[in-house]
């Protein structure tokens, strides 16, 4: 029974660790191919829609969102199946939530 308990403990720990890595991994392709709508908290841009790509004013590199090459916020969590992106301001550490506009069109 002791070996079984140790195996279950290690297996559950492994699952939690890999799930944590999955949740904290930021998919740059997903962010660059998606338009986000402001939902609540910290507002990154003046309008209600945020497009992050190499061809827009907002770009992303290593989880940091830049506005015209000025670091503005850090992406802290992406939950694709809920269409949510959480960011935190680098200036005053306010949290902000953006939602994939596909959430509204489906």
Q: What is the 8-class DSSP label of residue 42? A: S
pLDDT at 1 over 70: no
Q: Tens digits of per-residue pLDDT, 57-83?
A: 999 998 899 999 999 999 988 888 888
Q: Is residue 9 assigned to a domain? A: no
- What distances in angstroms separate CA 98 from CA 9, 85, 93, one per listed residue? 36, 5, 16
Q: Find the domain containing 53 and state its range.
A: 26-105
Q: Is residue 15 assigned to a domain? A: no
Overall domain count for the chain: 1
Q: Is residue 13 assigned to a domain? A: no
Q: Is residue 6 assigned to a domain? A: no
The reported pTM is 0.73
Q: Tens digits of per-residue pLDDT, 20-65?
A: 555 556 778 888 889 999 999 999 988 899 999 888 899 999 889 9
pLDDT of residue 106: 60
pLDDT of residue 11: 74
Q: Is residue 82 assigned to a domain? A: yes
Q: Is residue 79 assigned to a domain? A: yes
Strands (E), 32-105: 35-41, 49-51, 58-61, 64-67, 70-79, 84-89, 95-100
- Better-scored residue on pLDDT, 1 or 87: 87
Task: Give CA 96 to chain center in angstroms.
Answer: 10
Q: Is residue 50 assigned to a domain? A: yes
Q: Is residue 99 assigned to a domain? A: yes
pLDDT of residue 92: 93
Q: Tens digits of per-residue pLDDT, 86-95?
A: 999 999 999 9
Q: How many residues does the chain have?
A: 106
């Amino acid at each position: 029974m002791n070996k079984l308990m140790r195996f279950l403990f290690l297996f559950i720990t492994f699952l939690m660790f890999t799930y944590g890595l999955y949740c904290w991994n930021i998919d740059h392709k997903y962010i660059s191919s998606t338009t986000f709508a402001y939902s609540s908290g910290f507002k990154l841009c003046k309008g209600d829609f945020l497009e992050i790509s190499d061809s827009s004013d907002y770009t992303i590199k290593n989880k940091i969102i830049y506005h015209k090459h000025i670091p503005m916020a850090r992406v802290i969590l992406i939950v694709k199946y809920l269409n949510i992106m959480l960011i935190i301001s680098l200036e005053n550490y306010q949290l902000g939530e953006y939602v994939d506009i596909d959430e509204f069109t489906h």
